Copies of this chain bind each other. A is one copy, B any other.
């Protein structure tokens, strides 16, 4: 296959990157005209605007059950009225079963090449995907471009590379020659990797491609046909990608239904019907813990989840108080706290933190946080674009409810004007001070722009609470600030016991929210925030089975 030759180098480079874990990116993250073309941005925006109110006709799949769509723009607060073709849940599964043998029998390298080709095609549509993401998730433009485009494509390539490597881990055939004394016993042995069955990928409304492509590509490269079930609130970004892959398959004389998009609507969800189908053996899920726990409990399935968690920031000491506070405030404000990696609980000792200029008190820090938030929010060139819009109206309600909790509201949430979208759904971060003993308030994830400053006895108590919450309720990130090397080791070890990665002393240019493909494992799989990790070996190994044969050599 021509594609194989073409993409083998990309694949090899990606495999290397996984092991080196130094910086690597296949797809440039900046929406620069120099890289992507002078007219790419405008064409992408116009393409998106032209899709509104129409049937999305690119998918190579039937519409036996009609056309549906439920998306709304958080920036416009009005329906997009884009409709997608649908068939019954049983029909998606039947289609996937039909293509199962062809897809699994393709050599791994060919599967990998076809999948990489779909990412190369995706690259040409990053701007379309960016606008589709903005107007379904509420993400700001830059994040929508990066997260749904190049970063997602890199995560997909990472999953392909890991899956490729694992399937090449053991030899396809060996001669096994055992000395038996007077003679040798000689066997020809072979090994093959067998896919588990049909894969189901259940997307979320905030990161429709970034959180879906690792599971989709991991299942596909290991030979499992995939049904992508996007969140009804954000379909278009994945529709573009699925359509591109279907076209690649068709052009290569394969049945495009190796991957299918199964769209549903809020009033008639089909995830359970798909997930419980006996032919569906693999499930990838991003979303709330209740539904994730239900999926994890389904018998006979291998389930990969990213659920909810409560992320902590532990402040012990710093040499640059304002940069630290600015960094954390930005991390919380970015996409209005709707990132799974956003900090929620900021632990500060009651007697303040050490700095080269002496102690900075809890109240001084609180004042600095309020100032940093206001400075960011009220900067018309930054605030609206960093905050983006709120995907789900329920998030705004949650923020208001949080302000009624028995804490001290240091900064209430409010709305600001987005100069480009007057009707955007906006909620700035609420900052609330509480005491360590008020753990019931901050021990659950309050998804959205809510952060707590939590007054602890000392850093040891801060660490103990952060570890306890991560172990009991899950955590995907932890920010920590300390100048003390022993304390640094202690924090790293204690949070590792709760399977939580720690970002130390981030001040400028990098935020705890960011997890880089080919280097940072996203979610560890070791605490209740999720049982899977982008992309460790377990993430691909569990999608196939090693099976051997033996035969005497005559």
Please report A residues at the B interface, Cβ cutoff 8 Å. 19-23, 30, 166, 169-171, 174-181, 183, 185, 187, 189-192, 194, 196, 297, 299, 492, 495-497, 499-507, 509-510, 516, 519-521, 524-526, 533, 536-538, 541-542, 545-552
**In the complex, what's the smallest C-beta–C-beta distance from A23 to chain B, in angstroms?**
4
Determine whether the beta carbon of A501 is less than 8 Å from that of B176: no
Lowest 9 CB-CB distances: which A-B pairs, in order?
A526-B545, A504-B551, A496-B547, A23-B178, A501-B548, A499-B545, A502-B549, A538-B541, A503-B550
User: What is the CA–CA distance of A245 and B545 in the complex, to the nearest angstrom?
Assistant: 33
User: What is the CA–CA distance of A374 and B416 in the complex, to the nearest angstrom?
Assistant: 90
Q: Return the chain B residue nearest A196 by Cβ.
A: B526
Q: Return the chain B residue nearest A18 by Cβ.
A: B170
**In the complex, what's the smallest C-beta–C-beta distance from A226 to chain B, in angstroms?**
18
Measured between beta carbons, the chain B residues less than 8 angstroms from A524 are: 545-547
User: What is the CA–CA distance of A507 and B536 in the complex, to the nearest angstrom?
Assistant: 42
Q: How often does this chain occur in the complex, in copies?
A: 2
The answer to whether residues A526 and B541 also contact, given A22-B175, A170-B21 and a CB cut-off of 8 A, is no
User: What is the CA–CA distance of A183 and B508 in the complex, to the nearest angstrom?
Assistant: 12
A–B pairs, 15, beta carbons within 8 Å: A19-B170, A21-B176, A23-B176, A23-B177, A174-B519, A183-B509, A189-B520, A192-B492, A502-B549, A505-B552, A521-B548, A524-B546, A526-B547, A536-B546, A541-B541
Measured between beta carbons, the chain B residues less than 8 angstroms from A299 are: 297
**In the complex, what's the smallest C-beta–C-beta distance from A420 to chain B, in angstroms?**
25
Measured between beta carbons, the chain B residues less than 8 angstroms from A187 are: 510
User: What is the CA–CA distance of A20 and B171 in the complex, to the nearest angstrom?
Assistant: 7
Partner of A552, one of B194, B510, B520, B549: B510
Determine whether the beta carbon of A501 is less than 8 Å from that of B550: yes
Measured between beta carbons, the chain B residues less than 8 angstroms from A538 are: 538, 541-542
Determine whether the beta carbon of A506 is less than 8 Å from that of B552: yes
User: What is the CA–CA distance of A505 and B507 in the complex, to the nearest angstrom?
Assistant: 67
**In the complex, what's the smallest C-beta–C-beta distance from A29 to chain B, in angstroms?**
10
Measured between beta carbons, the chain B residues less than 8 angstroms from A22 are: 174-177
6 further contact pairs, Cβ within 8 A, besides A192-B492, A492-B549, A501-B550: A178-B516, A191-B521, A503-B551, A510-B550, A510-B552, A538-B538
Partner of A194, one of B30, B499, B507: B499
**In the complex, what's the smallest C-beta–C-beta distance from A199 to chain B, in angstroms?**
15
Measured between beta carbons, the chain B residues less than 8 angstroms from A519 are: 174, 176, 189
Determine whether the beta carbon of B496 is less than 8 Å from that of A192: yes
Measured between beta carbons, the chain B residues less than 8 angstroms from A550 are: 501-504, 506, 510, 520
Measured between beta carbons, the chain B residues less than 8 angstroms from A510 are: 185, 187, 550, 552
Q: Return the chain B residue nearest A281 by Cβ.
A: B526
Determine whether the beta carbon of B521 is less than 8 Å from that of A546: yes
Q: Return the chain B residue nearest A180 by Cβ.
A: B509
Partner of A497, one of B194, B501, B551: B194
User: What is the CA–CA distance of A187 and B492 in the complex, to the nearest angstrom?
Assistant: 16
Determine whether the beta carbon of A547 is less than 8 Å from that of B499: yes
**In the complex, what's the smallest C-beta–C-beta distance from A320 to chain B, in angstroms?**
11
Q: Return the chain B residue nearest A187 by Cβ.
A: B510
User: What is the CA–CA distance of A525 and B543 in the complex, to the nearest angstrom?
Assistant: 11
Q: Return the chain B residue nearest A551 by Cβ.
A: B504
The answer to whether residues A549 and B504 also contact, given A176-B21, A176-B516, A194-B496 and a CB cut-off of 8 A, is yes
User: What is the CA–CA distance of A501 and B546 in the complex, to the nearest angstrom?
Assistant: 9
Measured between beta carbons, the chain B residues less than 8 angstroms from A551 are: 503-505
Q: Return the chain B residue nearest A504 by Cβ.
A: B551
Q: Return the chain B residue nearest A166 by Cβ.
A: B537
Measured between beta carbons, the chain B residues less than 8 angstroms from A536 are: 541, 546
